[in-house]
């Protein structure tokens, strides 16, 4: 495991919000992720990109890969959010008001402003639209985090949506304070 981590194929990160702090190991090599998801064990049908695109399997892989891309580019995310320094970053998971488990993709803690930036990453081929169900999930995540132990160190919490092409504002997006697009990360 140490060799994989040192070679940059895996990453190690902390997940807070449960009874005990967890250390999570994640494969982060983009080629390996693609290979394992679409090629390995698929036989001769693997590799036909036209048959893969726009399937549920493709969107699952694209969403996970987009999340990993954003996490790997935290410096650009920090610049886009105009955060001077990040005190620490981590993943968070806890129980929401509905009793269901809520997970936040990335929490950026900025002690200078005593603010937690809760970052949710969403891949979409168009502007991302928050429907009623996902709007409720976001509210649950926000409320669960605020009620949790991690929020005791800060004064404010900002919900950030990181998307490929931006977010379409509607009644369900009221809890989103800031948005960052792929262009802002690499522009």
Tokens 């990160």 correspond to what residue? 13
- What is the per-residue pLDDT across 59-103, written as a single tens digit (0 to 9) for each? 999 999 999 999 989 999 999 999 988 888 888 888 877 778 889
HSE at residue 68, side-chain half, CA atoms within 13 A, is 20
Q: Architecture of domain 78-186 in CATH?
A: 3-Layer(aba) Sandwich (3.40)
- What is the per-residue pLDDT across 91-122, written as a single tens digit (0 to 9) for each? 888 887 777 888 999 999 888 888 999 999 99
Which of the pair, 23 or 169, is modelled with greater confidence? 169
> How many C-beta neighbours within 10 Å does residue 186 have?
9
End-to-end alpha carbon distance in the chain:
35
In 3D, which of 114, 123, 122, 91 has the Cα closest to residue 15? 91
Domain ranges of the chain: 2-69, 78-186
| CB-CB contact of 74 with 117 (8 Å) | no
């Amino acid at each position: 495991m140490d060799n994989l981590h040192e070679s940059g194929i895996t990453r190690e990160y902390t997940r807070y919000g449960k009874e005990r702090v967890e250390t999570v190991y994640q494969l982060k090599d983009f080629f390996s992720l693609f290979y394992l998801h679409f090629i390995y064990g698929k036989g001769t049908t693997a590799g036909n990109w036209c048959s893969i695109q726009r399937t549920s399997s493709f969107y699952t892989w694209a969403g996970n890969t987009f999340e990993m891309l954003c996490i790997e580019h935290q410096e650009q995310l920090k610049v886009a959010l105009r955060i001077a320094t990040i005190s620490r970053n981590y993943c968070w998971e806890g129980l929401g008001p509905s009793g269901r488990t809520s997970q936040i993709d990335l929490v950026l803690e900025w002690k200078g402003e005593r603010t937690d930036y809760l970052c949710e990453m969403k891949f979409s081929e168009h502007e991302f639209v928050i429907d009623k169900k996902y709007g409720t999930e976001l509210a649950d995540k926000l409320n669960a985090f605020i009620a949790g132990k991690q929020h005791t160190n800060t004064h404010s919490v900002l919900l950030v949506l990181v998307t490929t092409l931006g977010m379409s504002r509607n009644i369900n997006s009221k809890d989103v304070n800031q948005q960052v697009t792929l262009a802002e990360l690499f522009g």
